[in-house]
Structures are given as structure tokens and as C-alpha cells.
Structure 1
Amino acid sequence: MTAHDAIDMSTSAPVGAGRRTDRAPIPDDKEMLRAAVELTRDIATARPEIYWPDMLASAAIGYGALAGAILLDNPWAAAASGVVAALALYRALLFIHELTHIHRDALPGFRFAWNLLVGIPVLIPSFMYEGVHTLHHARTRYGTIEDPEYLPLALMKPWSLPWFILVSLLLPPALLLRSAVLVPLGAVIPPLRRLVWERFSSLSINPAFRRRPPEGDFARMVFWQELGAALWALTLLASTIWLGWRPLAIALVVVAGTAVLNQIRTLVAHLWENEGETMTVTAQYLDSVNVPPPALLTPFWAPVGLRYHATHHLLPSVPYHALGEAHRRLAAHLGAQSTFERASYPGLFPLVARLARSTMRGG
């Protein structure tokens, strides 16, 4: 959810990339691309017996733990419950990434159920990612000014990285403001409606991105999701009259925790070293990151298959539960010295350190 990630957190993203002109274009590794297709044909189908229990259990654990964080008197127990809530809801929220890639008929009812149970309650309905994330995977858009999910972070100033993380704390109040105030006002003020849609309706980090108006069936889906999110946001604000601000404040803190987790994951999802040029598929793969086993903490900060983010860029239609097997097959077939292995890294902290060193050199 890349997110992250906020009401277009790109509006606060750092800008001012430096120049890096010492890189020759990377040609496509045709053997790797061919193997990626041929070795994964039999595992490219989304399995409902995995998707449904995973999403439902994550949501149930998240909301149960959130209730504990609100209701428990012991502050340590409440804090621990809040951490569990943030981790579980983070996993549940990241199914929004799967919704952008699976075929619309692959999992009947899954999109509706996810929006009803997760997207609308957290004020991140699926339209905020659908139709946006696919642009990030477009062959001629990745890493360019037209990519909503790309910034050359490795070429920016060193202070850009902590700012990139801290700005995600604005996600919960931003989402609440968007759905409870801006969307209802936009219903009667067309210029505001256009502004909200263009700038504050996508999970993007590129401040130059402007979203095009929705059309057809997608526009109808947006209408109902916006209506549901607006009614829920107004209900949350109204609840403070009877319950006070404490329950809502705790919920906002938990959502902020999921936002920070997603922003950290986004920070190391790519190397962020492209300066805006069109890249080959292999170059896009090498600018992306895999953190395969034995890294133990990766399932917590990169769940739902996102530890195999580079492999996902090779095979965007392969469902999350098959990415591990796809990665193992390709690694075994192509070998330890292959282009494929060059996108694998040992863990979160080495990636953050690499990115920080790059900003110190290039920024």
C-alpha cells in the first residue's frame, strides 16, 4: 500500500533530485524474462481458499486487537494490543495491492467484502489504488514523471528519507478530513470535487501525478465507495459526542502505525535510482527489491508476498501466495550468478543503509 500513502501523500513528498548520468542503459535479459513466463504458468491462478481465510483472519485479529487497545485499562496491555492491531490491519490493508492485479472475475465477492470489512472502515477504499498502481507497472511509465509511485529518493537530499517516513503520520487525519469534509463539500462544489479527485484520491508519492476522471463502471464503483467512506467518516466523528475522543484517537494512532510500516516498506521496495528515463523490463526489475528467506522479520514489514517485490515486477499477475514458489523456481533455474539473483538483498536495515549512503553521495 505503498502505502504505503495518505490523501495523496505525494503533496508533501520531498523533491529536488540530483543528477546521476554514469549509468549505461541496461539491456533486457531475455533468458530471465522467458523463464519467468515459462516456469510459472501452473501457479498463476489466485486460490480463493488462501485469499479469503487470510484476509478475514487478518481483519478479525486487527479489529479484535484494536478493541483491546481501546478497552484495556492496563497501559502496557493496551499498547501491546495496539501493536498487534497495527500489524494485523496492515496485512489486511495490503490486500488492496492484490485487488489491482487479480482478474476481476477471479475471486467473486472478494473486492466487495474487502471494501466492506477493511477499505471503507479504514477510509482507504480500493479505488484509491485501482487504476493507479497499474500505471506503476506500465512498461513505458515506470520510473518516469508519469509513474504515480516513483520518486528518485536515492538521488535526493539525506533529510528526504526521515521526512518521507514522518509524513506518513499524517495519513489518518488526512483520510478523515478527505472523507468527512472534502468529499461531501465536493458534491456541491465541482471545482473542489475535481481537485480532490486529481490530487487527493490516490495512494501515490509522485507530487506531479494528476489522476484522470473515472469513467464507466469504475466511476459507478467510485461513487458507492466514496459514499460509504463519507458516511463512515461522519459516523466516526459523531461517535465522539457519546464516546469522547479517546476511542477515535486510539484508532487513528493504530492506523498511523500501519501507515509508517507501509512507508518503511515503500522506502525499500525499490532502489529509487532512476532519474526519469524509460527503462527496460530488466532495468525495472533490478531497481526493485527481493528480500527472500532467511530474513525473519520480513513477513511483518512486507507481508502478502511483498518480500518478493522484484519478482512481482517480473510477474505482476502471479498471486501473492505463489510468489515464493516462483522465486525459488527462477533462482534454481537461472543460478547464483544470474541477473535474477542481483535483485535479492539480506534485509531491511542493509537496504535503508544503502539508500542513506546514496543520498549522501548524490544528494
Structure 2
Amino acid sequence: MNATQPASHSTAYSGQEAQTATDAAIDRTRLPDDKVLLRAAVDLTRDLHTAKPGIYWPDMLGSALIGYAALAGAILTDKTWLAILLGLVAVQALYRALLFIHEISHMHRDALPGFRSVWNLLVGIPMLTPSFMYEDGHTIHHSRTKYGTPEDPEYLPLALMKPWSLPVFLLIALLAPPALMIRFGILAPLGLIFPAIRKMNWERFSTLAINPDYRRRPPAEAKRRWYILLETGASIWALALFASIPLLGWRPLLVALAVFSVVAVLNQLRTLVAHLWENQGEPMTVTAQYLDSVNVPPPGIAAAMWAPVGLRFHALHHLLPSMPYHSLGEAHRRLSAHLGADSTYLQANYTGMIPLVGRIAASTMRARNTDKSA
């Protein structure tokens, strides 16, 4: 799902005009930590860090059940309009179910016993996105010293790249489902025979990364067995999908791939507006990381659809990464009321997806104009 591969994190800019165009990003990179904000984030939310099983389990199970039922209906119906309607329901429900992978990556192993395993069985493996594809890489993304640097698998300076980078970044997500079938159904079995393929598969195709230069390190010994089990399950499922074609025909697989492709594009669009993407590779303070991230808080309701499971509070999540998704709304209310309208905290709030896309697109256009005048 890599969109582009720039020569460096500043290839889109050159000369004096490039310097002018990126002043704001550089200033944010050098921004010192707002200690009042960081202290308030800790002090005001001490009671909000317990994951509630009564919220997690029904939300995840209900989303998966609705999603698969709608998908089955879309496959079985012979009415085009109904197939499209059920497909859209499946997209929204399975998208929500899939995004629990983000919660799992931050979840302590003793919190919600069995949740990680059940999610992998019901969602991660059937959607060919087992949790190991997110857990380790996402931890790096939250590292104070590695966020926004070339070592971050989930960061590209998209706002400083060429205009064509944005549509490519989104459209490449359409290929994710068939690519995952190849990764688990072909490359993984071949990796049992050829060590070079196994090494390539792990380093390059085992992390949900957008940084094309990222290479994953071998797993820690304590996690190796768990990762092997997940990869084996996903490989068996991918092979079963290939085997279903002569038995069931192409329609079931093509409808499922179409639904999963829309899910992937929706997630890629959410990723596009999760950050401002203005860092050029330098380490950033926690406050700078926060301001390079995005909150789209209520009262708008659209963000609850395209950024579910708490991801509409993505900047707040970077302040408090271990906070359960169901507590982020209350944490936001407390911090907003306590810190006031002129605080650093509210500077990460935006009104919706369209203004954010427009901001990033405008930045890429400045990069194009700079190249033309250079």
C-alpha cells in the first residue's frame, strides 16, 4: 500500500521558495513541549484508562456480524441495487470491525482476555489482515524519537510531495485485497521452500506501512509462535479463497474483493487526513507530534463514519496512546474545558475531512509550483 518513494523526505522542495513554503512545518518540528498540556492530559484522565468489556465485545462482534451478513446478502442477491446497498452496509460494518486492530496494537495483553484471539479469528484472518501486521510497526509510529522520521513505517511527508502523490496514495489501496491474497496464499507457502522469499515477505509485506523504505526486523522470540499461528491461519484462508473459484465461481470472491477494496480505500482516505504530514524527517517533540496530528471532534457526525473506533480523536490519541477508544470523547471534553479556547490543545481540532484534504492538496501544489520555478 505504498504510495510513492521519494528520494528523501524533502525532495519536493528546493531553493529559497521551498524554504518559505515549509517554514510552518519546520517551526512545528522545533516547537518545545507544552508542559501545561502534557500535564493536564495525564492529570485529568487518570480514571479513563480501563477498557470496558461491555463496550468492546458487543461493538466488535456486532460490527463483524452485520458486515458478514450484509456481504453474504450482496453475494446471494440477483438484484443489482440491493447488492450495492448491502455492499455499502458491509463496507461500513467491516471497516469498523477491522479498525479494532488499532485498539489491539495498544492493548495490554491482560486487558480483555481473549479479545485479540477472537478478533483475529473473526476479522483479522478472514480479511487477511492479522494483528501482527499492525502491532509492532504502530509501536514505532508512537515512538517519541522515531515518529515522522525515515524509521517510521506509518509516515510520509505527503504534504511536501508532488500533487500526483495523493491520488496514487489513495488508488493504490484498491489493490490491497488481491495483494494480500498473493502475499498469504502464494508468497507465504513459497517462503516455506525458499528462505529468500520468506525473508522478503516478512521484511516488506508483513506491516501495514506507507513508508516504502521501511524494512521490518525479525520478531521478538516471545511473539514468534503467535505470529506463525496467525500467518498460517491467514495462508490457509487465502488458499481456500483461491480454491473456492472452481467450486463456487468468481462472483463470491469478486464481490468480497470489491467490498474489501472499498474498505481499504476508505481507510487510506482516513489515513490521509490523520496527520498534516509536514515533517521532513527530523525527530519531533510530543507537542509537535500532537500538532502534526488531527482531531475532528463533535458536533459533526460524519467523522464517526470515516474515522470510527475513536480515530476521530487521532491527535488526542497521540497524547494518550493507551487510552481505550470509548474514553477519548470524555477526555476531549475535559481537556477542552480545562485548557480553554486559546490553548495548544484546540489547535489540533479541524472541522472535517474536506478542509483537511484541501490543506494537504494545496501544500502539494506549492511544491509543484516551486519545482516549475526552480
Which stretch shows the higher mean deviation, 19-28 or 169-178?
19-28
Per mean C-alpha deviation after superposition, the further-off stretch among 139-148 and 292-301 is: 292-301
Quote the residue 1:156 is aligned against.
161
The two structures have a TM-score, normalised by structure 1, of 0.96
Q: Kindly provide the CA deviation profile for residues 52-93 of structure 1, in whole angstroms up to 9, marking residues without a partner as x.
A: 000000000000000011011110011010011011000000
Looking at structure 1, the residues matched to 236 and 184 of structure 2 have their Cα atoms a distance apart, in angstroms, of: 8
* Equivalent position to 1:352, from 354, 357, 360: 357
Give the whole-Å Cα distance in 2 for the aligned partners of 1:194 and 1:308: 36
**Alignment match of 1:135 (pick from 133, 140, 164):** 140
User: Given the alignment of the two structures, is residue 175 of structure 1 paired with residue 180 of structure 2, yes or no?
Assistant: yes
Residues 148 and 155, structure 2, Cα contact 8 Å, conserved in 1: yes
Identity %: 66
Name the structure 2 match of 1:295.
300
Q: Does 1:113 align with 2:118?
A: yes
Within-5 A mapping of 1:241-280? 241-280=246-285
* TM-superposition CA deviations, 1:303-342 (whole Å, max 9, x none): 0000000000000010000001111100110001110000
CA distance in 2, matches of 1:252, 1:319: 31
What's 2:16 paired with? Answer: none
Q: CA deviation at 1:15?
A: 2.5
SS of match in other structure, 1:143: coil
Match status 1:310 vs 2:310: no
CA change 1:150–1:56 in 2 (3 A) is: same
| Counterpart contact for 1:14–1:160, Cα < 8 Å | no
Of 4, 28, 31 in structure 2, the residue corresponding to residue 13 of structure 1 is 4
The answer to whether structure 1 residue 333 and structure 2 residue 324 are counterparts is: no
Query: How far apart in 1 are the matches of 2:295 and 2:234?
Result: 34
Aligned-partner Cα distance in 1 for 2:78–2:195: 47
Partner of 1:4: none
Identify which of 29, 34, 58 aligns with 2:34: 29
Q: Deviations along 1:260-291, whole A, 9 cap, x unmatched?
A: 00000000000000000010000000000000
SS at match of 1:73: coil
CA distance in 1, matches of 2:275, 2:136: 21
Q: CA-to-partner distance for each residue in 1:127-166, whole Å, 9 max, x for gaps?
A: 0001110100000000000000000000001111111000
1:187 alignment partner in structure 2:
192
Matched, 1:324 2:329: yes
- Contact 1:102 1:317 (8 Å CA) reproduced: yes
In structure 1, distance between residues paired with 2:67 and 2:34: 42
- DSSP 3-state at the match of 1:305: coil
1:100 aligns to what SS in structure 2?
A: helix
Cα distance, 1:300 vs structure 2: 0.8
Which residue in the other structure is 2:221 paired with? 216
Whole-Å separation in 1 of the counterparts to 2:220 and 2:122: 25
Give the counterpart letter for 2:59 in structure 1: D
- In the alignment, the residues of structure 2 paired with residue 18 and residue 37 of structure 1 have an alpha-carbon distance, to the nearest angstrom, of 38
Alpha-carbon deviation of 1:13? 2.7
Q: Which runs of 4+ in 1 moved over 6 A?
A: none
1:65 aligns with 2:70: yes
> 1:147·1:206 contact (CA, 8 Å) conserved in 2?
yes
Give the C-alpha shift of residue 362 in structure 1.
Answer: 2.6
User: What is residue 46 of structure 2 aligned with on the other side?
Assistant: 41
Q: Find the residue that maps to 1:142 and give its secondary structure.
A: coil
- Name the stretch that deviates more: 294-303 or 311-320: 294-303
1:166 maps to a residue whose letter is: L
Partner of 1:3: none
Residue number in structure 2 paired with 1:238: 243
Q: Secondary structure of the residue that 1:132 maps to in structure 2?
A: helix
Quick one: distance in 1 between partners of 2:333 and 2:325? 14
| Letter of the structure 2 residue corresponding to residue 261 of structure 1 | L
Match of 1:6 in 2: none
With normalisation by structure 2, the TM-score equals 0.93
User: Are the counterparts in 1 of residues 5 and 213 from structure 2 also a CA contact under 8 Å?
Assistant: no
- Pairing 1:145–2:136 present: no
Residue in structure 1 matched with residue 104 of structure 2 by the alignment: 99
Give 1:188 deviation, angstroms: 1.1
Aligned residues: 354
Which ranges of structure 2 fall in alignment gaps of 5 or more residues? 14-18, 369-374
Whether the 8 Å contact between 1:154 and 1:359 is mirrored in structure 2 is yes
Cα shift at 1:14: 4.6
Q: Which residue of 2 aligns with 1:5?
A: none
